[in-house]
Amino acid sequence: MKAEEEEEEEEKKKEEKGKEEAEKEKKETREVEKKEEKIEEAGEEEKKLEEEKKEETEKEKATEKEAELEKKKKQQRKRSLEKLKKERKEKKSAMLRQKS
């Protein structure tokens, strides 16, 4: 009888130990999963930041192109104005010569 009780006690201890180990493993698994999630989230955040940086760079390039185009337009207008002034001056000179 005593041997049976000791055997049952041993079985209970083994079961208890098995349960504890299972719980410990389950907890460790959850911790690993949480860490993996954090790593994945960090990767997604990094991708998002890279995309934002890329978009910002593209905007800057577009702004630079617009500024360059605006500069070229101003230069063209200036040349056109100068050409027009020169033509008017020449016409005026030609008219004065004809009158004389």
**pLDDT by residue (tens digit) across 41-64?**
999 999 999 999 999 999 999 999
pLDDT of the residue at 7: 82
Give me the mean pLDDT over the 72-95 stretch. Answer: 95
Q: Quote the CA–CA distance of 64 and 69 in Å, as a whole number.
A: 9
pLDDT of the residue at 5: 81
- Our CA angle for 49, 53, 55, nearest 5°, is 115
pLDDT of the residue at 52: 97
Q: What pTM was computed for the model?
A: 0.49
Helices (H), the chain: 2-99
pLDDT of the residue at 3: 75
**Confidence check: pLDDT of 77 > 80:** yes
